[in-house]
Chains A and B, each alone.
Chain A
Amino acid sequence: MSNWVEDLKKTLTGIIKGKDEVVRMAIVCLVSEGHLLIEDVPGVGKTTLALGLARATDCTFQRIQFTSDLLPSDIIGVNIYNPEKREFEFRRGPIFANIVLADEINRTNPKTQSALLEAMNEKKVSIERNTLPLPCPFMVIATQNPLEYHGTFPLPESQLDRFMMHLRIGYPEYDDEKQILKEMKGLDLIESIRPVVTRDEIIKTQARVNSVHVDDSLYDYLLRIVDTTRRHRDIRLGVSTRGAQFLLRAARGHAIVDGRDYLVPDDIKSVAPLVIGHRIILKSRTYIRDAVEIVKEILDSIPVPV
């Protein structure tokens, strides 16, 4: 059933060395129909991950480089007058792809940002009177550069909320990095990737996520995590109900990726920092602390159900 997951994992870890966990979470995100926000410095493999994911899954891929002058129509598409047919016809924008890489999403203006985020949420595009469904599977991988603030439009919390996971790739380990330097194949490697899974298989697997069995005690565990973020002394804004829904869905996806049709506490615990981290706002006095660190601290304080 989920052997394609293993194949996909193997393929992707072949091109992004030593980042098994990142790859796994990206697949969890794909399986549970979520969108991914990758925040990291340039050159650690954000694009490689997105591109590799698209290639290995036999999906169409589009890349949108976000700039400050990008317009919503540059993403969604535009109606163009066809003089032969004497009517307007819709020319689809780059968003009509299975996997969309939105590079440096915080560089563009809020109007364009919200156009993308709306499409992400609804999985369809409305232009004038027409509503066009986006292809299935549909996944947006957005990247953000955390260091440059000049001329950027940071995403507001309500829009960060749309991303299921917020990942950080980080520098590779010493040995892995050495290996990368030795091979030095770059994009050629990605070109060589053969699809290991069909789109239909992905859709089928996605459909199974909702039928993952969740024991009642695990709902309590999840709610307790969510609830603790709401009353934590360093947190100003805790996780919303939508955040809790996302957490459950991601945990279910994690169970599927792990080859199970039932949820275990570990599913929740391992996705929680990635799903919750960007949904909480810290109190100003603790801005030095990292939200993910605090979430991990919370997770370490809550007993798992037995």
Chain B
Amino acid sequence: MPASYKILTCLIALVGSSSLLLTEGMLPFFLLTTPFVLVGYYRAAKGYPQAHRFITGGLSTLALILFFIDIKISRDVISAVGHLTMFFHAIKAFDMKDPWDPLQVFFMALIQLLLASEITRSMIFGVIFLVFMAGMVLAMFYSHIIKEGAEGIKGFLRPMVTMTLLLILLTTVFFLVLPRFRGSLFGRPLSKGIKSGFSEKVSLGSLGSIKLDPTVVMRISVRPERGFKPYWRGMTYDIYSGNTWRSLRQGFREYKGLKGVFKLSEGEIQEGFRQEVILEPLETDLIFGLRGAFTLVIDSKSLGITDSGDLYIPRKKGKRVRYTLQSTNRPFKGSRASPVYLQLPEDMQWITGFTGKIIAGLNDGMEMARAIESFLRNNYTYSLAPSTPPNINPVRYFLLEEKKGYCEHYATSMVLMLRSAGIPARVVSGYMGGEYNRYGRYYIVRQKDAHTWVEAFIDGTWVRFDPTPAVETGENSPLFLYLDLLKMKWERYVVGYSSSDQKRLFRVFERPVRRDFWRMPELEIKRWPLYLMILLLITGIAGFVLLKQTALSTESRYYLRIRRRLKRDYPVNASLTAKDILAIIEKDREVYPYLKEFLLLYEAIRFSNRTDEDHKNRYFQLYGLLKKKLRNK
């Protein structure tokens, strides 16, 4: 084994290990095996004596015992196997003797990769997988050279080309044929989930810390209109008491959907915004979208909906959710507002007087609401860290003393003020805006985009008001946006490659003439793997045939054909010489004399440095005769 082969083995071992370590599913303790791996391969490459097999055997047994203890304690097979492979890599690094040893390392690295794919769905895994594939091709190729020796470019090229083609082909086929599981194979949660701050009870001031969190919550593909300012509606809150908002989930009903398609409003299908949403694992059953949702396509059996239009789906912990929502994004009509929306807490009666001053002289509900909204916007300052002394009514403190606060304070105040003026109102929480990625035409919504606003029931419709003053937010660099786009595509087409995508792909074969079908935007992207596959298949076959043809002369091909024919009846293989074959066929008096002459002539033509046309003619004649004789058998 040359040193470079050992170094390559070391690299593959490191790729495998890092794929596991980067998933964060491993204890950082296992990072400590890396120096052992490095030292081991360094010694091997330098040609130092390798560890005695008693030592490696003993250590391996120890690792196995630890493995069983690991399983017993953690009851987590995946990470236990992961730990075992890390140990083995470190041990194997000191045991590079046979050509067999690197193969074991490759195998272990492959296992690590599979485990990593089980634990993580992150894009870095794709990169590692590519590196691993490249390394494997190189290694196979290298081991071939080592085994075959320098046979010139002919023996060199063929295995490399075929190996590469085969690998690419196989991965493409796997990609197209196997839909990815949602989540992981063994139902392992991807991560603990993001704390959402959306629960049925929310006390005032709890959103403050979330507003500082830049974690991405969802990505929403939508085609915005001019001056579009999206409010991704989540939950409505109905009752305020004791500084806490509560959602009653009024009129909550559950639907069983057919194949994941839910019609949310009666009547004909309306024009609206189509939102494709990828929601990160949030600790809530809520799903988000623009108001006035009328259809929802989601991979779920049931759906919960309230009178106020909040959408709930039963959610597995730690799983991403992907859905398509169509909404009007217009104020929606309500028949009659529930008396709940006029509720005021006992200790808040003072607010009636406070509001009266602002709306003095106004009669129209809309005008009153506008007045309150602009009053709050103009006279109060936005601050994420207002002082909140204990034991004081926070709304009163906000309105009368501090005059600083954030969306929660503004929205709560406005709702209570509207209610005191006799206008039914409620607090709505969700996300506002987000960063628009113009390269991928989608919004990146983060925790800090969490927002609360107001809906007031005026003239039979629920109108949205947002009393919170606008806050300037910075924009990310194009590089960041590109990377995020890549992430989203990965999420959509690699991780989230589902059976419906597959069906769509196979429909290509069914109805290739339907023109509007080709115009579907998803398919623009989905067609390339098919073309690539066909192209690869053709080039692969052509390359293989070409290489095989050019490498052999006509005589050799005839010889091979006869040998292949003999193989059917006799134990003939590639390691036999002409004489060996004759010794096997000897008993067959019918064929033997012809075969003998044929083989002797073949050797004379193939291996001597003379060319004798008579020999060649006789050879081809014998070929025909032999074929006939063999066919008659």
Q: Which residues of A contact B (CB under 8 A)?
A: 213, 215, 218, 220, 223-224, 227, 231, 233, 260-266, 269-270, 299-304, 306
Contact = CB atoms under 8 A, between A and B. Distances in A.
B552 A306 contact: yes
B578 A213 contact: no
Contacts of B525: none
A306 B575 contact: no
* Residue among A220, A224, A299, A303 with the highest chain B CB neighbour number at 10 A: A220
Interface string B542-578: 0000000000100010011000000000000011111
Given A262-B608, A266-B577, A301-B575, 11 more contacts: A213-B608, A231-B99, A231-B146, A231-B147, A262-B607, A263-B607, A264-B577, A302-B575, A303-B575, A304-B575, A304-B577
Interface in B571-614: 574-580, 603-604, 606-609
A263 B100 CA distance: 35
A270 B606 contact: no
B149 A213 contact: no
A223 B559 CA distance: 23
* Residue among B98, B147, B606 with the highest chain A CB neighbour number at 10 A: B606
B148 interface: yes
* Contact-residue bracket for chain B: 20 to 34
Contacts of A227: 149
A88 B146 CA distance: 59
B346 interface: no
B577 A220 contact: no
A273 to B, nearest CB: 13
Contact of B609 (A262, A269, A301): A262
B574 A220 contact: no
B575 A264 contact: no
A233 B98 contact: yes
A270 B575 CA distance: 12
B579 A270 contact: yes
- Top 9 A-B pairs, shortest CB-CB distance: A303-B574, A262-B608, A266-B577, A264-B603, A266-B579, A213-B609, A215-B607, A265-B577, A306-B556
A304 B602 CA distance: 14
Nearest to A270: B579
Contacts of B560: 306
B271 interface: no
A270 B574 CA distance: 16
Contact of A264 (B98, B147, B151, B607): B607
Given A263-B607, A306-B556, A306-B559, A224 B575 contact: no
Nearest to A224: B149
Nearest to A306: B556
Interface string B367-393: 000000000000000000000000000
Contacts of B609: 213, 215, 262
* Residue among B100, B575, B578, B604 with the highest chain A CB neighbour number at 10 A: B575
* Residue among B100, B560, B578 with the highest chain A CB neighbour number at 10 A: B578
A8 B155 CA distance: 43
A227 B579 CA distance: 24
B608 A261 contact: yes
A227 B147 CA distance: 8
Contact of B576 (A260, A262, A263, A304): A304
B22 to A, nearest CB: 36
Nearest to A300: B575
B549 to A, nearest CB: 14
B148 A224 contact: yes
A218 B607 contact: yes
Contacts of A269: 577, 580
